[in-house]
Structure 1
């Protein structure tokens, strides 16, 4: 190999987990279970620090409890869509149900809509107990358009028409089942 030749990218296959510092693993677990449907899973017993592992949607969230976290993490009051965040694709196109559920759960949020070439993307932003921002969106509406030559794995982008509208979700407390408004699929009863 020529010393000037760029080596190929690392051979990775998917996102495994993200790690978040938290002031209280118990409060954070409750939030990620109740609001986003993550499930606590067993973590290695050899860890000498407090925390929790959660899993759903094909990846994990690893919470690392830090006694200093409350002081280290900036308290976020404003919901700024341009701040660090992780994003979840909603199972159906209508985010009104997501917004209604967040209201019933008492979670402050901000709704934004962006447009690109006539395509609309709805986004809802909110914070976890430690101020880390989370987005739920219809980002799958936008096509993936590489700006340069891209590996074939990039093009394995799931369209909303083949996504998970037929799956059942944990109901939002006090909410009835909603009808998926995704016009590209048959109507499926889903609940948030």
Structure 2
């Protein structure tokens, strides 16, 4: 049996790496990363999202790598009202939310919007446990 510990990184195929880096840095507060071979990514916590241009794919790659095909969920510890305000300040249209969803470890409340490539981004906050 294989034992998986955590997700280390994801790869997003994007139309424009500069535009994607700016969005993830400015809107989502992630840290830009530049690798020695000039490939680029953004990081948060112990995770990295590598950004590969659709016009310059790095082998090996997914079978059908295209911009806008991802659906990502990030968890915040902050208030979703602050997230909403921040998104509006950056002219990011909220498509749905706040709505109740199920996260990996329990109920969350989420907002949905899209990055510049059309990837669906969900920002959720775990609901406070109800005291009985």
Q: Same fold (TM over 0.5)?
A: yes
Bigger relative CO (Cα 8 Å, ≥ 6 apart) = 2
RMSD between aligned alpha carbons?
2.8
Normalization by structure 1: what TM-score? 0.53
| Residue in structure 2 matched with residue 111 of structure 1 by the alignment | 97
Distance, in Å, in 2 between the alignment partners of 1:88 and 1:115 is 13
| Residue in structure 1 matched with residue 3 of structure 2 by the alignment | 11
Equivalent position to 2:16, from 24, 31, 39: 24
Superposed CA offset, 1:56-115 (max 9, x none):
12200000012289xx446xxxxxxxx9521111113x3111101101110011213227
Q: Which runs of 5+ in 1 are unaligned?
A: 1-7, 75-82, 144-192
Normalization by structure 2: what TM-score? 0.75
Larger radius of gyration: 1
Which structure has the highest strand share of the two? 2
2:119 is the counterpart of 1:132? yes
Distance, in Å, in 1 between the alignment partners of 2:53 and 2:70 is 20
Q: Which runs of 5+ in 2 are unaligned?
A: 58-65
| Residue in structure 1 matched with residue 77 of structure 2 by the alignment | 91
Distance, in Å, in 1 between the alignment partners of 2:46 and 2:14 is 22
Distance, in Å, in 2 between the alignment partners of 1:65 and 1:84 is 14
Written as runs of structure 1 = structure 2, the 5 A alignment for 1:46-57 is 51-57=39-45
Q: Is the 8 A contact 1:23 1:68 kept in 2?
A: no
Q: Is the 8 A contact 1:51 1:65 kept in 2?
A: no
Q: Which runs of 4 or more aligned residues in structure 1 lie more than 3 Å from their structure 2 counterparts after TM superposition?
A: none
2:27 is paired with a residue of what secondary structure?
helix
